[in-house]
Structure 1
Amino acid sequence: MRFDIISCQPDLLDSPFSHSILKRAQQKGLVEIHIHDLRKFAINKHGQIDDYAFGGGAGMVMMIEPIDKCISELQAERKYDAIIYMTPDGQTLNQRIVNQFSLMENVIILCGHYKGVDERVRQHYVTHEISIGDYVLSGGELGAAVLADAIIRIIPGVLNDESSALTDSFQDGLLAPPVYTRPAEYKGMKVPDILMSGDTPKIEQWRFEQAIERTKLRRPDLLNE
């Protein structure tokens, strides 16, 4: 899978893709991540990519021309399955959306900044608008990293144990059950006996019941859905 991320602050994306699972996914050849500095497509020698909003108001707006130039250059090289715009008023990201994106081959992620992009970009270029939550960040770069991380980790071959991703929270509409590891007892706190029994069917049933109970307590809206 290939990600082309368009940003006016590309340095913000250096760290997330240079460590841990995301780094190994690239080393394995399972993922390509290309970060494009929007200022290379600026309208003048001063690197201008934004301007004042028509009609007045506070804040600057990302211009259509640099974005069009960047996207057009990328589309001249390959076909893209999605052009995703990271924006606070987009569809809230969830595991179902992540799963759908993970089946794609080539994806562009456009990082918003300032007061956002010229509306014509959203109308004529963008295919999906995604938010990572009901709050506002300084730019879309952190959101783009979150989205890419969520997608990449479920691509087959990225995790050493692929079944691990399938048992994550939200994959089956439930929160994950509690987990324990050694030691079996610490300062009087014991691991549930069922997990030490070796009875796999009973353990799985216990985990399922715990997942339902945890979801009822913490995210009852998931059960309603």
Structure 2
Amino acid sequence: MLFDVITLFPQWFSLLPTTGVTRRAFEREQMVLRCCNPREFSDDPHGRVDDRPFGGGPGMVMQADPLARAVDDVRSRRSDAADVLLFSPSGRRLTHDSVQRWASGTGAILVCGRYEGIDQRFIDRYVTEEISLGDFVLSGGEIAALALLDAVARLLPGVLHDAQSAREESFHPDVDGLLDCPQYTRPREWSGVEVPPVLLSGDHRQIEHWRREQRLLATGRLRPDVVAQGRQQGRFGAEDEQILATIESAPL
């Protein structure tokens, strides 16, 4: 799959293909990354791509024309009708389900905004989908784009070596969208705290039961919205509901 990133700071993306587990996706050519700087498509002799907003107000706005030329150039070098994704606080929240959708596709064109925003005319004409990491504002879209690329790479076959690792992570449908359970490693005792005995028992059925219980407890405490969604989808059985009830009945 091919991801073209339109960014004023292409150097931000230099580590992804060469570092950590994501490196495997690029070494195997499961994922290809290209960066395009909109300054190269500016008519300004200094490569300027922003200007003051009409109507007044603080900050600067990225101009439509350099971004449009950059997208057109990228599209001319692709063999697919790639979606154009814009990272924006007003976008739809990035979720595991949407990451899986991109991981099973052919890639996309990622637009990383900067300054106060982007000329709405470019968004209306070119952008297929707006994506947000959450209800906060970043200095630009690069961090959000890196998050999407990293999350997609992890889902590609062989990138994590053990495919079970991805299936047991937080928000995966194989664990009903629950948060991950606590993890422990050597030594068995650290700073006066022992590893839970069930993890040392060798009883895989009991271990899986404990992990399910811990996922439910963690999700119920930290993400009640995920529990509510799971209930709407009928993901929880009677035993799950008994575990969740211990949290909901606890005094505040």
* TM-score, normalization by structure 2: 0.85
The aligned counterpart of 1:202 is: 206
Structure whose residues are more often helix by fraction: 2
Using the TM superposition, give the Cα deviation of residue 199 of structure 1 relative to its aligned residue in structure 2, in angstroms.
1.5
Task: Describe the superposition over 1:52-92 as per-residue Cα deviations: whole angstroms up to 9, x where unpaired.
Answer: 21222221111111111111112122224421101111112
Partner of 1:152: 153
Structure 1 counterpart of 2:180, which letter? Answer: A
Q: What is the deviation of 1:134?
A: 1.4
Q: 3-state DSSP class of the match of 1:20?
A: coil
Query: What's the counterpart of residue 184 of structure 2?
Result: 180
Letter aligned with residue 203 of structure 2: D
**Could you tell me which residue of structure 2 aligns to residue 43 of structure 1?**
43
Q: In structure 2, what is the Cα distance between the partners aligned to 1:40 and 1:203?
A: 56
- 5+ residue gaps, structure 2, are 230-252
Instruction: Give the structure 2 partner of residue 163 of structure 1.
Output: 164
**Correspondent of 1:212 among 201, 205, 216:** 216
Query: Secondary structure of the equivalent of 2:117?
Result: coil
Residues of 2 paired with 1:215 and 1:177: CA distance? Answer: 9
Q: Given the alignment of the two structures, is residue 113 of structure 1 paired with residue 117 of structure 2, yes or no?
A: no
Partner of 1:33, secondary structure, is strand
Aligned-pair Cα RMSD in Å:
1.4
**What is the Cα deviation at residue 175 of structure 1?**
0.5
User: Secondary structure in 2 aligned to 1:217?
Assistant: helix
Matched, 1:222 2:226: yes
> Which protein shows a greater Rg?
2
State the number of aligned residues. 225
Q: CA–CA distance in 1 between the matches of 2:140 and 2:160?
A: 29
Give the partner amino acid of 1:153.
R
Partner amino acid, structure 1, of 2:148: L
4+ residue runs over 4 A deviation: none
* Amino acid in the other structure paired with 1:90: G
In 1, the alpha carbon distance for the partners of 2:168 and 2:99 equals 15
Q: Structure 2: how far apart are the matches of 1:46 and 1:12?
A: 21
Give the counterpart of 1:191 among 190, 195, 218.
195
With over 3 angstroms needed to count, the CA separation of the structure-2 counterparts of 1:188 and 1:44, relative to structure 1, is: closer
User: What secondary structure, in the 3-state scheme, does the structure 2 residue paired with 1:89 have?
Assistant: strand
Post-superposition offset of 1:17: 4.0
Q: Which has the higher contact order (CA 8 A, sep 6+)?
A: 1
How many percent of aligned residue pairs carry the same amino acid? 39
